[in-house]
Amino acid sequence: MKKIVSLLLAAAMMLMVAGCGGGTEPKSSGSGSGSGAKQMTMGFSQIGAESEWRTANTESIKQAAKDAGVKLIFSDAQQKQENQIKAIRSFIAQGVDIIAFVPIVETGWDTVLKEAKDAKIPVIVVDRDVKLGDDSLYVAKIGTDSVAEGHKVFKWLDEYMTKQHKQPKDGSQFQVAILEGTVGSSPALRRQQGFKDEMAASSNAGKYNIIASQTGEFTRQKGQEVMESFLKSYGNKIDVLFAHNDDMALGAIQAIEAAGMKPGKDITIVSIDGVKGIFQAMIDGKSNCTVECNPLQGPLLMETAKKILAGQKVDKLVYVEEGVFPSDKAAEVLPSRKY
């Protein structure tokens, strides 16, 4: 009997040691709202409120935390990586159970994520992607596939231009202007890459020329300003506008109208996100297509966090589902849009 008890004790101690041990093992095992379980505290660093999409993303995360009984420490970085790094350090100092963050840019995270790992606090990367020397610095990534979105944009565009029998204004090539997202951010880099790769691989590659490409920082205001400058430089040469997000397209639509042109007709417009504002613009005939990027990531984030803290295995990379919505579907789809 004594022997069995001491064996059990030894096994229990080994488990405890393993629980405090290396790598991505959770620091504590608060599994949330279950009876007697410790409430999970999550430190979450959001990048700001640059777009309609981001507002929906923040609401989804806050609501999901409430629903899951998770205590959320929410920090808004106001578009600055240094503020995110400060926030993550403060989460570590506060001893949160888990950290989640939306990386504003791809690089520059190695040091602070190493600090989280050393403190045995698991990290979930949300929405955007990171580039690290060591991928074990985060446990899971939940988000969207920006390269695939870029592919879908060119594919839709080429099919549309062909079907509509569009002719280049200069008689030789369609001139494409691009409004890029935040410099160094994964959606800006990867959407651009996806679009260009799909174009290069297309048998119609020679029909298109990128005449201008510049950042509009994912905001409506900047999208409008940069489109104004594109129109000043290239007058009525531009056939197509590809905006890395809907908000910049909505700003550009104002600039195009102010220049006395018809958005959606004189210039074919395609953007990414699928927010309500762009559906309305499509219904009004002012834009042509949106490729969906799903911001409703809160429930999956909370579920993943709970699994990690309960010691369950989770997928390293999970993409949420996304569709493509051309303008002829806009009126039918708008009432069911959730963001």
> Which stretch of DSSP H or E encloses residue 26?
none
Query: Is 286 a binder of ligand GYE (CB under 6 A)?
Result: no
3-state SS class at 60: helix
* Distance set, CA 249 to CA 51, 245, 264 (Å): 11, 7, 11
Q: Which CB atom, from 160 or from 319, has the smaller least distance to ligand GYE?
A: 319
Closest approach of ligand GYE to the CB of residue 221, in Å: 13
Closest approach of ligand GYE to the CB of residue 80, in Å: 15
Is residue 116 within 8 Å of residue 24, measured between CB atoms? no
User: What is the DSSP-derived secondary structure letter of residue 320?
Assistant: P
Q: Which CB atom, from 40 or from 278, has the smaller least distance to ligand GYE?
A: 278
Closest approach of ligand GYE to the CB of residue 250, in Å: 11
Closest approach of ligand GYE to the CB of residue 167, in Å: 31
Query: Is 273 a binder of ligand GYE (CB under 6 A)?
Result: yes
Q: Which CB atom, from 182 or from 288, has the smaller least distance to ligand GYE?
A: 182
Distance, in Å, from the CA atom of 248 to the CA atom of 266, rounded to the nearest integer, reads: 18
Closest approach of ligand GYE to the CB of residue 18, in Å: 37
Q: Which CB atom, from 32 or from 187, has the smaller least distance to ligand GYE?
A: 187
Residues in region 230-249 near ligand GYE by CB under 6 A: 245, 247
Is residue 126 within 8 Å of residue 100, measured between CB atoms? yes
Query: Is 293 a binder of ligand GYE (CB under 6 A)?
Result: yes
Beta bridge partners of residue 176, listed in sequence order: 210, 240
Closest approach of ligand GYE to the CB of residue 257, in Å: 22
For the chain, where are the E strands, in sequence order?
A: 41-46, 71-76, 98-101, 123-127, 140-143, 174-180, 208-215, 240-243, 268-273, 289-292, 317-319, 324-326
Strands 289-292 and 208-215: unpaired
- For tokens 């220049």, the residue is 259
Distance, in Å, from the CA atom of 12 to the CA atom of 18, rounded to the nearest integer, reads: 10
User: Residues 6-45: x/- map of binding to ligand GYE (CB under 6 A)?
Assistant: ----------------------------------------
Q: Which CB atom, from 158 or from 247, has the smaller least distance to ligand GYE?
A: 247
Is residue 156 within 8 Å of residue 270, measured between CB atoms? yes
> Which structure tokens are listed for 272?
């990414």
Q: Which CB atom, from 40 or from 226, has the smaller least distance to ligand GYE?
A: 226
Total chain residues near ligand GYE (CB under 6 A): 14
Query: Is 218 a binder of ligand GYE (CB under 6 A)?
Result: yes
Residues in region 40-79 near ligand GYE by CB under 6 A: 50-51, 53-54
* Distance set, CA 192 to CA 4, 183, 187, 219, 330 (Å): 63, 11, 8, 17, 25
Q: Which CB atom, from 54 or from 117, has the smaller least distance to ligand GYE?
A: 54
Around Cβ 23, how many Cβ atoms within 10 Å?
Answer: 9
Q: Which CB atom, from 32 or from 277, has the smaller least distance to ligand GYE?
A: 277
Q: Which of 26, 43, 187, 277 binds ligand GYE (CB under 6 A)?
A: 187
Is residue 39 within 8 Å of residue 263, measured between CB atoms? no
Inter-axis angle of helices 246-258 and 220-234, to 10 degrees?
Answer: 50
Beta bridge partners of residue 130, listed in sequence order: none
Q: Which of 41, 45, 58, 144 binds ligand GYE (CB under 6 A)?
A: 144
Closest approach of ligand GYE to the CB of residue 298, in Å: 15
Interaction site with ligand GYE (CB under 6 A): 50-51, 53-54, 127-128, 144, 187, 218, 245, 247, 272-273, 293
